[in-house]
Amino acid sequence: MNREQKYRRLEQASPEEISDLRKKVRDSVWRQTYHIQPITGLLNDPNGFAYYAGEYHLFYQWFPLGAYHGLKYWYHTASKDLVFWRNAGIAIEPKEPYDQYGAYSGSGIVKDDQLYLMYTGNARDRNWNRRSYQCMAVMDANGTVTKLAEPLIDHVPEGYTEHFRDPKVWKDKDRYRCVIGAQRVDATGTAVMYESLDLLEWQFVGEIQTKLKHFGYMWECPDYFELDGQGVLLFCPQGIAPEGEQFRNIYQSGYLTGQPLDRETLVFEHGAFQELDRGFDFYAPQTMVDERGRRILVGWLGQAEIGYPTDAHGWAHCLTIPRTLELRGGKLVQQPVEELGKLRREQREVQDTITNEKKSYAGVSGTAFELIGEFDEIDAEAVGIEFRAAGAERTVIHYDTVRRTLTLDRSEAGAMIDSTHGSTRSCRLEAKRLKLHLFVDTSSVELFVNDGEEVFTSRIFPHPDSTEIRFFANNGSARLKVVQWDVA
């Protein structure tokens, strides 16, 4: 892809090109039914997630003209219930000198009845060197977005490179603060903090003092918040090598928990870095607190630098379903927001004991569904579920009770996705009972294990006729309880 193609603006495309692209997208067999997905082109990070004027607002990084990382816009979606979203059009266009090569990721905060959207302007100088500006756009209750004339932060502080982006803003009692993802001049990643009294004038405070001095070459999309009196720093370090079952994706998304961040010294006492998700396709999550006080997370259901089968259909990626966050013993637990129950249509239930067999049940099938499968009194060596299956095609969740390992296997899931990074993902799981809560859409699965103790988020690209669901117990038996809902 040459520079000209990459940075094509929407208005450079003819009406015919757009309508051809739309048709290609419409004809794609892998369009989702209840996930936020781009009308055309490529979606990446969730941005500006906030509750404002009676609705949840969720924006995302968007390149309209094809399934590649081109010129990034902010696209706006809104919802009253976190379930049914309406497309609200482009919110931020990259057309100012300070953002003309991309309106990059950022966050939202409500002040004086307006939604402030703080984001990174990606610019280039005459020699094509990157320049990063932190910018502000303000949205009113009618959805009109107005950019401020000048960036809020027009230079990168001493000691950091131009890889300086993704401001996540929050309000403490007496002031606003934001964290920004950064790269030190020695090419290591970190996060820095700024402060402001009015969201407009910002002072650089310094670097968040973690124990991770050499942990990847860049930290993207940091997010800081407190839950149950604990500090949580989410971020996406790039350049972390795989370690056993951990860090197997190209780029990681994870967190540190510990004492609340010391606002004066910026010291953050924390435990080990933990991955947020065990699946293949999860990155750049962003959180917000809603009116009910829930900490809600949405992530990009995708990964950078991998080709996906929908590329040929003119679109790529979607966002995850919204999930609530809680801390359980220093670990972040994710659960689908309860509002998703609104999607449930026809319900089916099964109770059975399965022994050395693989079984399907009448009516328990589909391409887009919610399913809770519980295995109890397990004496089998392995139990699990195959879904989106037909013949040899299937996506498999496999719990090995001897090695105490849970695996998601997409090696036979349908159209191939880059497998140089492997086609299974696993984690250790100590469990006597196994509760597998699945949200399956036409081309994705989000698996919540034992009430969110572990989550596996992945794209899959099965044939539309691969609708079977099978339950198995190998070398022994297990009690099985299944509830499944069609969703719409």
Binding footprint of ligand FRU on the chain (CB under 6 A): 44-45, 61, 72, 104-105, 120, 165-166, 220-221, 283-284, 304
Contact partners, residue 286, CB within 8 Å, separation at least 6: 45, 46, 47, 49, 107, 168, 221, 223, 297, 298, 299
How many angstroms separate the CA atoms of 439 and 447, rounded? 6
Please give the helix or strand (H or E) that residue 136 lies within, else none: strand 130-139
Which residue, 105 or 257, is less far from ligand FRU as judged by CB? 105
Which residue, 116 or 219, is less far from ligand FRU as judged by CB? 219
How many angstroms separate the CA atoms of 131 and 50, rounded? 27
Which residue, 73 or 369, is less far from ligand FRU as judged by CB? 73
The secondary structure of 427-444 as a DSSP string is EE---SSEEEEEEEETTE
Distance in Å, CB of 296 to ligand FRU, minimum: 20
Q: How far apart are the first and last CA of the chain?
A: 38
Distance in Å, CB of 249 to ligand FRU, minimum: 12
Pick the catalytic residue from 45, 99, 277, 441: 45
Q: Where are the alpha helices (DSSP H) in 69-111?
A: none
Distance in Å, CB of 362 to ligand FRU, minimum: 43
Q: Does 376 qualify as catalytic in the annotation?
A: no
Torsion angle of alpha carbons 103, 106, 111, 115, nearest 10°? 50
| Range list of β-strands (E), 25-67 | 41-52, 55-63
Distance in Å, CB of 69 to ligand FRU, minimum: 7
Which residue, 236 or 256, is less far from ligand FRU as judged by CB? 236
Distance in Å, CB of 93 to ligand FRU, minimum: 14
Which residue, 121 or 314, is less far from ligand FRU as judged by CB? 121
Residue 121's alpha-carbon distances to 92, 104, 381, 403, in angstroms, are 11, 6, 53, 48
How many angstroms separate the CA atoms of 373 and 377, rounded? 14
Evaluate whether 305 touches 44 at the Cβ level (below 8 Å).
no
Which are the catalytic amino acids?
A: 45
